């Protein structure tokens, strides 16, 4: 089964660009003590990432009809966000009052959610035949 598709790669590249813009807005807002900029950056980032995932996920489903309950896109988002965020600190682009500890805490909590999503993904695959639910197949 092909798991890395052109649409997943396009999503990853788009998510990387968007995450860099988000990190800039977040650091700028924190450096200037602007809760409005921080909140706006987070809300816009969240909504835009959701739309990107929906768009590329739908296109990916048309191209490669596998039932993965969005896990590949969730995992890609996790990798992109945490990689960009860690590099942001390594390169010294963070605000002076930003601490790398929050990136680690976010990665741990998000990782726990990702593991739960992975278990759900495995469970749905186990209960399907060639990505069709057994109940739908024999009705």
Phi-psi region at 98: left, alpha or beta (left = phi > 0; alpha = psi -120 to 50): beta
CA dihedral 73, 76, 78, 83 (to 10 degrees): -160
| Tens-place pLDDT, residues 76-129 | 999 999 999 999 999 999 999 999 999 999 999 999 999 999 998 888 776 655
- Which residues are within 8 A (CB) of 63 and not within 5 positions of it... i.e. 6 or more apart? 5, 6, 7
Decide if 61 is inside a domain.
yes
Decide if 21 is inside a domain.
yes
Task: Write out the residue range of the structural domain in which residue 89 sits.
Answer: 6-137
Decide if 10 is inside a domain.
yes
Say how far apart CA 94 and CA 85 lie, in whole Å. 9
As a whole number of Å, the CA-based R_g of the chain is 18
Decide if 37 is inside a domain.
yes
Decide if 80 is inside a domain.
yes
| Tens-place pLDDT, residues 42-86 | 999 999 999 999 999 888 877 766 666 688 899 999 999 999 999
This prediction's pTM: 0.84
Decide if 29 is inside a domain.
yes
Cα distances (angstroms) measured from residue 52 to each of 12, 94, 126, 138 = 10, 25, 28, 35
133 backbone dihedrals φ, ψ, rounded to 5°: -65, 140
Q: How many domains does the chain have?
A: 1
Decide if 88 is inside a domain.
yes
Decide if 1 is inside a domain.
no
């Amino acid at each position: 089964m092909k798991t890395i598709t052109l649409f997943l790669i396009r999503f990853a590249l788009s998510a990387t660009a968007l995450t860099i813009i988000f990190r800039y807005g977040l650091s700028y807002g924190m450096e200037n003590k602007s809760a409005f900029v921080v909140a706006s950056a987070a809300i816009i980032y969240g909504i835009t990432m959701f739309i990107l995932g929906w768009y590329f996920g739908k296109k990916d489903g048309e191209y490669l009809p596998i039932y993965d309950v969005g896990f590949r896109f969730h995992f890609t988002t996790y990798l992109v966000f945490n990689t960009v965020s860690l590099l942001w600190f390594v390169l010294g682009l963070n605000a002076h009052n930003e601490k790398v500890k929050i990136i680690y805490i976010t990665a741990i909590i998000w990782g726990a959610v990702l593991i739960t999503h992975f278990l759900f993904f495995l469970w749905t695959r186990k209960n399907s035949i060639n990505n069709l639910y057994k109940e739908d197949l024999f009705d």
